[in-house]
């Protein structure tokens, strides 16, 4: 027993440790000290710091009156070269009459003249020193160094190859916009801006990742969002001290409340409409550069059985689908375990004829029901995983082989009973019917311990396992919002809303559990919607009367 | 907190130890007992003869019937001093574990029922697997003989009997009870228990063949009895068929009741008396009555009874107990043997009173039989007890005697609601 506890103690090594930042800080300071306004020294320093990378472009030149030496620094492939030529180089170098200011350039007034009159780039800023300038350059901006000038002009020239906005593959919808997020932050922000044209929509930039310097945007509506959640989120993201952030999953792992839980505590989406809906509901969207997956904070469990389509189809459809998903969720979790438990222990629970059929089918199967279940579930998981990774053309071959092996050959060979195949396939289909992949895979993982519990202790074990899962779920929180809310800790209206999607004109308030600044979403539309017949303007009778009058 | 965690961990580990796989059984290692037939062999050291009808899984059964045409039921018999011993004896012949949770039927032979059901009921209620809602049937003669009957419609004889029990609930010729209902009746003071009777005999076709041989017009008698004819045919032939040809395939009939005094069988009610009893209990449903046409006595009208309501009230006058029984029935006219215009209000009134009379006659017949056997199957004693506990307590000891002298005043009211699909009788061309 004590050894088991010592394992827990050892787990403490996973706690975040302060990474010594001393060396790093002093190195940066040293570099700053080396920084000098003399152009040639500066360029040497740049070459030293960026190394001999072949995509670093340094273009030295003089102004047309030959009084000021300047240099351009940009990364090839990240900038719009045409823009650099037309808007920066051309105006400085050309000596046309139209450009009277280039004549007056001296090293003293260069910064001001260049900034105000000469360069025609629309995005322009000043970096105080080389280190700042280099950061911007590495993000795709162009730096203009002036001899004898400490400050650096930064021109916004970002332009690189982008994936076009396409339909999100992981969250396809029958009805709804087909646009999904892309890997480019700017496109993504524009997609959101186009949906929420409100002055209070905020994009707050943060950076994380020591080497990747990944841009992270917190998107929220400033007069809705719960300030304490926002504060906490800022704090947690600022505390991320890691080498690289390559995907939003990295951030998710760093900021989630309970790291050792199979359940996803932060929802992610590729759908723009879903993200917009979350923001409008008062949640915070965490956008990460270079990935189309955005995090939604805070998250509760029931979000995983909701799809954006629920709000585009009629309420009845949504109600039915949500019930179906809830059912399917349970099937995916407990069906094989229940089957194994009943087959092994509770023979009296089945109708006689069904039991006789199952017994007949199991006749001659060499394995106990547990082994059979684990074998089939395992095979299915392998097939699914193989299908995900393989190219589409090969994937078909896998599915055919897998289908034959699972469906037919295994039964004929007497390895598994047909009943188990039905159970496993029903479970498999059920897991695919859950909208969120990360939630369904959590259930899939939990299925295996439940099967084992069911085989050892029967239904008692299954229920025991379910209670353990439920206790765990009830203990989870996502940024202060209970994971099972609104089912626990919610208003009655919100409880109903988690299952029944009310008609849009009836859902007056935002979820109570988020504790927002403004609870009310819209005015009471209930009374207004119904217009008494005498006040209706375009009834058939009136139209006919009008027509008659005209005649 | 840490202490709690430690304790919790210990408990979690214990769960795996205290409730392990010890009762883990694969389905295919079980044999499902569907029927338990219990017979009593008096004057033996091991008097209980138990016959278990075991259903075979469809696959094995299919293979067997493909080659040899056997039935999917196998019978295993054994004797023992108690039922448990007998079952243990029977399991010596079995390659698989016996499983009783799917037993739906317990057949009790006449001799066992006469000996007393106490041990059997105790077995049912004490056994961890046998359910309390098994159907309890009494057979005339040996219960084992019933089990060897060949099934006609279902795959196994058990299914056939279960089907017959279901059918019996839609008619009024018998009233099969489940074990707990039987026990309820048994333990209630002022009430005697009964359950349905299962008969085995040659089918009506054999009778018809015999009748043809005799060339006598005796067959008419049979047909006038309407719905009860088939059942009676089976019942009547019981005595006669015992000595006749052996290759006759005998069939099962569920008709009549076995009446118990305490836990011992004392007599049988035939299907007419059974219906008479069911009128008292208000349990008749969907039965047919044949009455004479009030205008032309040679013609018969058959009536369908759809709804029955019975109220029984005790009366105490000068220490003399009597009961008034009020029966209200509803129903339709179904057919007639002639073509009299019977759908007029006057005729319907006459038919109503004739129907009431027929019902009253049946009830009185059943009452006479019960008083003869001294079994209070209706539960007059219970009704008295609920109405006047003091009086019943005084009579409790000698209630069977009191019951046999009981005066019952029966009032039947009948309503004919519908006249079937036609509003006129079939017209003949004149």
Q: Which residues contact B405 (CB under 8 A, 6 or more apart)?
A: B371
A282 plus A144 within the same structural domain: no
**B21/A355 touch (CB, cutoff 8 Å), yes or no:** no
Which residues in chain B have Cβ-Cβ distances shorter than 8 Å to A363? 28, 57, 59-60
Which residues in chain A have Cβ-Cβ distances shorter than 8 Å to B26? 343-344, 362, 368-369
Q: Which two tokens stand for residue A44?
A: 């040497």
Average pLDDT, chain A: 85
Q: Which residues contact A166 (CB under 8 A, 6 or more apart)?
A: A180, A182
Q: Please say if the pLDDT value at position A519 is more than 90.
A: no
Instruction: State which of A436, A464, A482 marks the end of a domain.
Output: A482
Residue B397 contacts A, CB cutoff 8 Å: no
Stretch 182-211 of chain B: residues touching chain A, C-beta under 8 Å: none
Q: In the beta sheet, which residues pair with residue B254?
A: B198
Lowest-pLDDT range of A30-44, A204-218, A291-305, B268-282: A30-44
A374 plus A399 within the same structural domain: yes
Query: Alpha-carbon distance B162 to B34, whole Å?
Result: 10
Do the beta carbons of residue A74 and residue A185 sit within 8 Å? no
Interface test mutation site (partner B, options A347, A417, A419, max chain B beta carbons within 10 A): A347
- Strand ranges in B103-246 using DSSP code E only, listed in sequence order: 105-108, 135-139, 177-178, 194-201
A349 plus A281 within the same structural domain: no
Q: For residue A354, is it within any domain?
A: yes
Which residues in chain A have Cβ-Cβ distances shorter than 8 Å to B34? 352
Q: For residue A168, is it within any domain?
A: no
Q: Which of B20, B26, B99 sits opposite A368 (nearest CB)?
A: B26
Count A/B contacts: CB-CB distance under 8 Å.
76
Q: Which residues contact A434 (CB under 8 A, 6 or more apart)?
A: A304, A305, A325, A328, A329, A332, A440, A443
pLDDT digits (tens, 9 = 90+) for A298-356: 999 999 988 888 899 899 999 999 999 999 999 999 999 999 999 999 998 998 888 88
Min Cα separation B131/chain A (Å): 10
Instruction: State which of A115, A133, A155 marks the end of a domain.
Output: A155
Pairing of strands B105-108, B135-139: parallel
Q: Which two tokens stand for residue A487?
A: 């089912």
**B101/A5 touch (CB, cutoff 8 Å), yes or no:** no
Residue B133 contacts A, CB cutoff 8 Å: no
Q: For residue A179, is it within any domain?
A: no
Q: A18-22 long-range CB contacts below 8 Å, 24 or more apart?
A: A19/A241
Angle among Cα A154, A156, A160 to the nearest 5 degrees reads: 130
Q: What is the pLDDT of residue B81?
A: 94
Q: Whole domain around residue A459: which residue ranges? A: 315-482
Q: Is A315 exposed, middle or buried (0-12, 13-18, 19+ CB in 10 A)?
A: middle
Do the beta carbons of residue B401 and residue B374 sit within 8 Å? yes
Query: Alpha-carbon distance A270 to A293, whole Å?
Result: 5
Q: For residue A508, is it within any domain?
A: no
For residue B29, what is the nearest residue in chain A, using CA coordinates?
A359
Q: Which two tokens stand for residue A65?
A: 């009156």
Q: For residue A395, is it within any domain?
A: yes
Higher confidence at residue A285 or residue A83? A285
CATH classification of B272-430, choosing from 3.90.420.10, 3.10.310.30, 3.30.300.210, 3.90.105.10?
3.30.300.210
pLDDT digits (tens, 9 = 90+) for A422-448: 999 899 999 988 888 889 889 999 999
Q: What is the pLDDT of residue A543?
A: 61
Which residues in chain B have Cβ-Cβ distances shorter than 8 Å to A414? none
**A456/B55 touch (CB, cutoff 8 Å), yes or no:** no
Residue B33's nearest CA partner among B93, B97, B84 is: B97
**B27/A455 touch (CB, cutoff 8 Å), yes or no:** no
Residue B21 contacts A, CB cutoff 8 Å: yes
Q: For residue A2, is it within any domain?
A: no
pLDDT digits (tens, 9 = 90+) for B30-81: 888 999 999 999 988 999 999 999 987 765 545 544 433 345 788 999 999 9
Q: Which residues of A touch B (CB under 8 A)?
A: 1, 4-5, 343-345, 347-348, 352, 355-365, 368-369, 455-457, 460-461, 464
**B32/A357 touch (CB, cutoff 8 Å), yes or no:** no
A332 plus A473 within the same structural domain: yes
Which residues in chain B have Cβ-Cβ distances shorter than 8 Å to A368? 24, 26
**Which segments in chain B show pLDDT lower than 50?**
61, 64-70, 218-245
pLDDT-derived band of residue A11, with 50, 70 and 90 as boundaries?
Answer: very low
Do the beta carbons of residue B390 and residue B334 sit within 8 Å? no
A288 plus A430 within the same structural domain: no
pLDDT-derived band of residue A507, with 50, 70 and 90 as boundaries?
Answer: confident
Q: For residue A203, is it within any domain?
A: yes
Which residues in chain A have Cβ-Cβ distances shorter than 8 Å to B9? 1, 4
Domain ranges of chain B: 28-202+250-269, 272-430
Number of folded domains that form chain A:
3
pLDDT-derived band of residue A110, with 50, 70 and 90 as boundaries?
Answer: confident
Q: For residue A521, is it within any domain?
A: no
A146 plus A209 within the same structural domain: no
Q: Which of A347, A363, A369 sits opposite B99 (nearest CB)?
A: A347
Residue B16 contacts A, CB cutoff 8 Å: yes
Q: Is B165 exposed, middle or buried (0-12, 13-18, 19+ CB in 10 A)?
A: buried
């Amino acid at each position: 027993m004590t050894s088991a506890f010592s394992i827990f103690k050892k787990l403490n090594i996973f706690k975040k440790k302060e990474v010594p930042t001393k060396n790093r800080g002093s190195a940066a300071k040293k570099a700053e000290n080396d920084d000098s306004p003399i152009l040639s020294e500066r360029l040497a320093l740049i070459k030293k710091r960026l190394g001999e990378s072949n995509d670093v472009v340094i273009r030295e030149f003089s102004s047309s009156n030959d009084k000021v030496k300047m240099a351009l620094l940009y990364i090839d492939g990240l900038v719009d070269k045409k823009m650099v030529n037309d808007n920066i180089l051309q105006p400085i170098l050309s000596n046309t009459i139209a450009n009277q200011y280039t004549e007056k350039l001296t090293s003293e007034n260069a910064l001001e003249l260049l900034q105000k009159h000469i360069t025609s780039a629309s995005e322009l800023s000043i970096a105080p020193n080389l280190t700042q300038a280099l950061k911007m350059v590495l993000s795709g901006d162009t730096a203009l160094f002036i001899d004898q000038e400490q400050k650096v002009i930064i021109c916004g020239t970002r332009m690189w190859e982008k994936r076009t906005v396409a339909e999100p593959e992981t969250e396809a919808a029958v009805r709804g916009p087909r646009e999904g997020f892309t890997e480019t932050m700017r496109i993504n922000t524009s997609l959101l801006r186009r949906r929420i044209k409100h002055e209070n929509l905020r994009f707050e930039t943060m950076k994380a990742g020591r080497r990747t310097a990944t841009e992270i945007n917190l998107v929220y509506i400033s007069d809705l969002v719960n300030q304490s959640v926002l504060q906490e989120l800022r704090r947690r993201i600022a505390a991320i001290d890691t080498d690289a952030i390559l995907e939003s999953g990295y951030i998710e792992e760093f900021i989630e409340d309970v790291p050792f839980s199979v359940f996803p505590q932060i929802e992610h989406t590729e759908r723009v409409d879903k993200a917009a809906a979350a923001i409008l509901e008062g949640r915070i969207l965490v956008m990460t550069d270079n990935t189309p997956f955005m995090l939604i904070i805070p998250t509760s469990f029931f979000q995983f059985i909701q799809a954006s389509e629920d709000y585009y189809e009629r309420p009845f459809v949504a109600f039915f689908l949500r019930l179906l998903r809830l059912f399917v969720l349970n099937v995916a979790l407990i069906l094989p375990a229940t089957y194994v438990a009943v087959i092994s222990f509770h023979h009296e629970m089945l109708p006689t004829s069904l039991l006789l059929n199952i017994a007949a089918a199991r006749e001659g199967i060499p394995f106990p029901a547990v082994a059979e279940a684990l074998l089939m579930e395992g095979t299915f998981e392998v097939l699914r995983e193989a299908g995900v990774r393989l190219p589409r053309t090969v994937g078909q071959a896998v599915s055919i082989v897998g289908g034959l092996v699972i469906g037919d050959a295994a039964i004929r060979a007497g390895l598994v009973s047909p009943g188990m195949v039905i159970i496993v396939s029903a479970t498999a289909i059920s897991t695919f019917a859950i909208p969120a992949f990360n939630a369904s895979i959590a259930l899939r993982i939990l299925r295996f311990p439940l099967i084992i519990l069911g085989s050892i202790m029967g239904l008692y074990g299954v229920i025991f396992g379910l209670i353990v899962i439920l206790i765990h779920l009830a203990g989870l929180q996502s940024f202060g919002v209970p994971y099972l809310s609104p089912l626990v800790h919610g208003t009655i209206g919100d409880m109903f809303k988690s299952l029944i999607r009310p008609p849009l004109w009836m859902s007056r308030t935002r979820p109570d559990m988020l504790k927002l600044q403004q609870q009310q979403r819209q005015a009471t539309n209930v009374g207004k919607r119904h217009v008494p017949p005498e006040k209706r303007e375009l009834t058939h009778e009136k139209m006919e009367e009008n027509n008659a009058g005209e005649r | 907190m840490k202490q709690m965690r430690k304790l919790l961990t210990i408990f979690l580990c214990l769960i795996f130890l205290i409730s392990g796989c010890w009762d883990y059984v694969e389905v295919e290692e079980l044999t499902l007992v569907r029927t338990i037939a219990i017979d009593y062999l008096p004057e033996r050291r091991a008097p209980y003869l138990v016959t278990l009808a075991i259903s075979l899984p469809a696959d094995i059964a299919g293979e067997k019937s493909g080659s040899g045409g056997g039935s999917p039921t196998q019978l295993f018999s054994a004797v023992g001093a108690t039922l448990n011993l007998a079952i243990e004896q029977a399991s010596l012949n079995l390659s698989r574990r016996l499983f009783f949770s799917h037993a739906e039927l317990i057949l009790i032979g006449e001799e066992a029922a006469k000996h007393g059901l106490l041990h059997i009921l105790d077995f049912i209620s004490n056994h961890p697997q046998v359910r309390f809602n098994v159907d309890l049937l009494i057979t005339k003669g040996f219960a084992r003989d019933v089990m060897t009957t060949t099934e006609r419609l279902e795959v196994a004889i058990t299914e056939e009997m279960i089907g017959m029990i279901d059918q019996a609930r839609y008619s009024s010729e018998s009233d099969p009870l489940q074990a707990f209902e039987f026990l309820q009746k048994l333990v209630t003071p002022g009430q005697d228990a009964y359950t349905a009777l299962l008969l085995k005999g040659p089918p009506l076709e054999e009778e018809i063949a015999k009748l043809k041989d005799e060339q006598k017009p005796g067959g008419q008698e049979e047909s006038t009895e309407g719905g009860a004819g088939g059942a009676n045919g089976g019942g009547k032939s019981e005595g006669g068929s015992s000595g006749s040809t052996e290759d006759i395939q005998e069939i099962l009939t569920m008709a009549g009741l076995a009446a118990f005094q305490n836990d011992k069988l004392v007599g049988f009610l035939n299907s007419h008396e059974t219906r008479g009893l069911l009128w008292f209990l208000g349990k008749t449903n969907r039965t047919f009555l044949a009455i004479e046409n009030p205008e032309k006595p040679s013609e018969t009208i058959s009536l369908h009874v759809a709804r029955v309501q019975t109220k029984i009230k005790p009366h105490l006058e000068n220490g003399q107990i009597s009961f008034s029984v009020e029966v209200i029935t509803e129903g339709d006219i179904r057919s007639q043997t002639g073509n009299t215009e019977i759908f007029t209000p006057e005729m319907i009134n006459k038919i109503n009173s004739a129907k009431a009379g027929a019902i009253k006659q049946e009830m009185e017949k059943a009452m006479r039989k019960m008083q003869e056997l001294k079994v209070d199957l209706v539960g007059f004693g219970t009704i008295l007890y609920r109405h006047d506990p003091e009086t019943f307590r005084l009579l409790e000891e000698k209630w069977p005697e009191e019951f046999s002298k009981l005066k019952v005043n029966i009032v039947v009211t009948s309503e004919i609601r519908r006249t079937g699909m036609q509003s006129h009788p079939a017209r003949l061309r004149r």
